Structure 1
Amino acid sequence: MFSPDGRTLATAGSDRTVRLWDAATGAARATLAGHTAEVLWLAFSPDGKALATSSSDRTVRLWDMPSGTHLNTLRGHSHGVGSVAFSPDGRTLVTGSGDRTVRLWDVQTGAARATMGGHTAEVWSVAFSPDGRTLATGSRDTTVRLWNIPARTTRATLRHNGGVTSVAFSPDGRTLATGSQDAGLRLWDVVTGRNDALLSGHLGAVFTVAFSPDGRTLASGGVDETVVLWDPGSQTTRTMLHGHTDRVGSVAFSPDGRRLASACLDRTVRLWAMDNGFTRLPMSGHTDVARAVSFSPDGRTLATASRDTTARLWDVATGTPRAPMTGHKSWVQAIAFSPDGRTLATAGYDSSVRIWDVATGKHRATLPHTGPVFAVAFHPDGRMLATGSASSQEPLLLWDLATGKPRPLSGGHKDSITSLAFSRDGRILATGSTDETARLWNVATGKSFATLARHASAVDAVAFSPDGRTVATGSRDNTARLWDVATGRNRATLTGHWGWVLSVAFSPDGRTLATGSNDTTVGVWDVATGKERVTVPEFDSVTSVAFSPDGRTLAAAGFDSTVKLWDAVLLGPSAAAGAICRAVGRDLTEPERSAYLHGGSGGRVCPPP
């Protein structure tokens, strides 16, 4: 869990210790020892000056921050203490225990102010209302109790048909959300105790609920391996987020509401961009699937290709489209700008490539093929165009744009060419194919010198890193891979998508890879570690992704016929760890710890807050 100022990360683990880390560098600052059993839960006080930790050893410990000095040990529970929370004013600590009781403690003195009984089974969750006057507790006994804190009495008992796993107040304190083993997510009027809504959508137990900071979105996670986003106002489902492969045990919003973190028993944490980072409204105009996107070299224009047989040019700043470019007689599959930005090439399922004048939108030339064309790429010097097709005779061609004459590259793939990319220096061409391989070609000789053959299905996407040392591939086997160009070695396999990876794109600095998938998400990956930083729910199949030349914007095209733009100032590895821990407070696995806290050692990294 992060301190309120975000500078310190506190973690707890089964080694009975709490560790303090520098959030900026990931360096270990201190180890807090004293508990005699696993540390289960921790929480910072609102002012960040104290840390409370609870344990299976039946105690709660208070620590001074940032010195890490032990202040007090709170004793009284007869079973492990599984939940702890500070009141909004920081003066009171509440604990829930396996002994079926809830206790209130004076933070200053460590004295127990009250022991509140009533639950007939373990207390699983506790939460203060924003004004601190009401406490909600959820229990395995299938009830939620609302407590009047000044009177220390139960003022309402709310009932589920199964154990209550999670409780959360809306930011205005008027609504309580509860999740239960009965597969129900309920909304309650805090004043009257009335059940205002039963939200149905999960296929099994709901383990976690959380409101966004503005109260407009409610997130829940469950045994059905999904995260569901709800509109609490209309009491309707907004969307379901897929990707986890086991029960989702925790969800939480970042303080700014722009990220949702979900933790799962599949040993993963996912960060979802809740506002999608939209810099503008979606670009709408195509009437069928938007198949490809490409930024002009100056970043001011976005080109799109669609199955509606047209290509379009858009003003990136305003989102305004120019007149559609028509002429293809079937789907437009791919699109690319020339290096000087003056020429556009489009690939069509009608077995043709068309060349266009960007300034006027006029058609200049048609390059005929003997099969549907799936890919186009300009050579960095602008004099040559590579095209990939389903032609059984010459699927890979290099065209001299001055003469309009093609040079075939043969002796390589055994099936259709789906994707193309030149290295920045223009010496190497990478190709992907439905033959389940990618290949590297020497452009000068026209010979293939490496076959990248680890995918288990068609390779639909290829991209070079800016330094030319790495090639990324995306496949219908639901993975992306990173390859060393010099050796042809597969150095990383990026797993997380549960659908075909249809597009890959490096950021201009080469540190980030974006992947688009028909699982309806965009994945954002750290190239150095191969770890996923953020999953962006696109809400429809993603066919193409591209970074702007300055790296500040990420564009994605989808099956909903639109193109969307995101702020691409993305989280780095240590910042991603911070966001996860601040939002979720769930322990990271060893691989995740290595990725997010380089140089850290031992113990858990992200315990529950």
Structure 2
Amino acid sequence: MPTNQTLNHHTMYTKKNLFTTALLLWSLTACNRDPVAPGGIDLSEPRLMTSWGHAEAVLSLATSPDGEHLLTGSADYTARYWDVSSRKEVWRFIGHEGAVIATAVSPDGKTALTGGEDHKICAWNLETGVQEKCFEAHGGGVLDLEFAPDGTRFASASEDGSARIWESSGTLQHTLKAHTDFVESVSFSKDSKQVVTASLDGTALVWEVATGQKRLTYKSHKSEVWDAIFSPTENLIASASADRTIMRWRVRGDTVQALSPISVNWSGWESLDFSKDGQFLIAANSDKSARIFRTSDGVERHKLEGHTGRIWAVAFDPKGRYVATAGGDQTVRLWSVETGKETGQLGHPHSLVTGVAFTPDQKKALIFRLDHALTIWQASNGARSVQLGSGNTGVAHFSSDGNAVLVSGLNDTAVLWDTRNGRKIQTFGQINKFKLAAGAVSPDGSRVAFGETDGTISLYAAASGRLSRRLGKKASPANHVAFSGKGDALAASLSERDAVILEVQSGAIRHKLKGHKANILDIDFSEDGTKVLTGSRDGTAFVWDAQKGTQIAQIKAAHPITIVRFAPNGETFVTVDTFGNAQVWRTSGDEEAKLSMPGITIATFSPDGDHLLTGTMDGIARIWEVDSGNIALELTTLDEKNWVASTATGKVIHNDQLDARPLYWTVGGRIESFSVRQKDMLQTDLLQTVLKP
């Protein structure tokens, strides 16, 4: 299993917790057995789904015992359970705060295990989709999980340098501690009496399950060992390494019988799996391909090519009909074992939401995606989409009236667009990397501000594109800027952990705001201009008096804060952290609500303050009820012509002549075509529940 050292998605946090068996008993761990999933989604009711799949790299794979289903884990913080024949998602498991790196399905097919970079292992009921248990299992990310063939135990491997063996009840049985680096994988022998672990320390170790004692050490690789697995039919182990070899070795008592290595002059091998009969071995290579080898002599049978991103995991169908590969391109590919040809795909790459806004009258919701697509939602007309430029770098900053949006583009440029007609207003060229993040549009759309690398703020006339003036004094780079509600002041964050409030008319610094212990990652002005809000990499958000420059309140989140936004009343605000968790707070520092949906990329309040509009990595915008923390609407743009809005209870509204091919229903783990419930679940006034007519 590949480590987080090679995943840009992951930032790991070391914990100093001391674990005891009692602490890790599942029976003592809080769990959620309610059929209502995060966001108020009732798992027993019809749920509208799309066939898009994961929003980020797929990092892990596990098959059900009959091969009819696949369990996947992703860097989008979710795990998903797929029906292989229909290529559709049956269950979506939300519970980790970070990438889901490890997955396993029990031998009876009733339980799924997921392990993540949040150090946790979660158990899920595959019949109901409900989370049964979730607990902190290691002092580092969980990199691999596997059930014993006899179903009595499971094992986990971790970045904390250990592997652990657990009884099926969840009681910790043994901690296997001998490696000196990350333990990348763990695998049971066919009789469930031994496990083999692979580590970045360059070794693979064999352990006795009953005693937890190390039995032997394998040191023939010349570099990191990414994976080591037992054959399901004999005491043969295959191990894959960054040294470009796959080793095959037999365990005989306390000795090793080495077979000839599979050595190919390509990049390192990362993930392995045996066919159920042990005759074939599939290996993922870092060159975006996988290869199927004959186990007996290491002869290559097929090369599997098609992924546009790195392959992170591979798995054989227990019945030998297909092999599955999980890639950095957000997809799972299915391949014929017999021919090596691709036979299907689970999921399709799609673009995340990078900008959201309401118009002041709450008649429109504006959604902007990374691929430069803008969708405008209205209660009366549904959704209308327009393409604002091209590329895959679109980060949006809306004016407060919603009539203009500033979009970062290619070649160090930013473009100001009129959202009402999709026309380009002005292009701002030769801007540095900070300006792409540090852009803001004045409330009336007449001016555009950019933070500069020298700490000053450049103010441009929107219509002409001419530089009006520079504000502030030279200092460390200005990373984020925000206008006050009247447009007479600007707040800017500096990379030296401080922020400044500037007078737009004179350019003078009104106040310098000091207090954060790490870089400020976002900044916002209250609508009335009396407060400034800063969010920092240190996990704190500060509320400041904009007139006095003094701190009013401070909150502390669990992770670095990347987004901060005031509610219209200036008394509440929302924060979004690096794992995409959104929390609503009062300026007194008290938490009001937490939105239980990972992967949130951006958030803003509705003008009435009753709702939050969020964008996520999955490309869907969601409107939440602030009081309950439940989803009020999910806004899905399928393409330029097709759109659908839905509720947590399955009610929908969509465009006429809808192309519903990406849509379907899940009902208690069953998949139904969209047309089956289309008429019954239609609610024509659905958008009016949030948007004004």
Question: What's the TM-score bracket when you normalise by the shorter of the two chains?
Answer: 0.3 to 0.5
- Structure 2 length normalisation: TM-score? 0.40
TM-score under structure 1 length normalisation: 0.46
